[in-house]
Amino acid sequence: MDTRWKPSVTVAAVIERGGRYLLVEEHTPEGLRLNNPAGHLDPGESPADGCAREALEETTHRFVPTALVGVYLSRFQRPATGEDITYLRFAFCGELGDVVPGRTLDDGIVRTLWLTPDEVRASVARHRSPLVLRCMEDHQAGRRFPLDMVTTDASVRAMPG
């Protein structure tokens, strides 16, 4: 039996424009939830590259990470099954580009929403994770770390995938 603890590595885009934050509404096993554009890191990609990919898939916009907002560890127990999942999240802020013509929202994403910080706080019961609010508040507080805080060794990109 493998008892090694293996957290799920995720990446998230914290996108602010004009005092509003871009969230996605998505289908989850717990129902419709709000989240940052986010998802799992794929083999062979750096966290910043994974964040850009996930933002494009979930919003249809190009996204270029410019700073690390934070690294977060959280735990979730799925109510229906009792599944216990630990997430290690790398959250980035950056520049949101134009919509890519012909792109559609990823499966499970219902729509994108631009919410004020007060609207994000008022919708906590619908958040997919407590990290949605925490990442926004850290961004508002000015937390920014250089991208080179996270090093992706060349061996990662050499992985077959």
> Whose structure tokens read 């507080």?
141
Provide the CATH number for the domain around residue 57: 3.90.79.10
pLDDT tens string, the chain, 161 residues long: the values are 567 888 999 999 999 999 999 999 999 988 999 999 999 999 999 999 999 999 999 999 999 999 999 999 999 888 778 788 899 999 999 999 999 999 999 999 999 999 999 999 999 999 999 999 999 999 999 999 999 999 999 999 886 65
Task: Kindly state whether residue 117 falls inside one of the protein's structural domains.
Answer: yes
pTM of the model: 0.93
Please indicate, yes or no, if residue 27 is contained in any of the structural domains: yes
Q: How many CB atoms lie within 10 A of CB 61?
A: 19
Give exposure, 71-97, as e/b (b: 16+ Cβ within 10 Å): ebeeebeeeeeeeeeebbbbbbbbebe
Single out the residue of 97, 12, 15, 74 nearest to residue 48, CA to CA: 12
- Find the domain containing 89 and state its range: 8-149
Q: Residue 138, SS3?
A: helix
Residue 154 lies in a domain: no
CB 133 within 8 A of CB 123: no
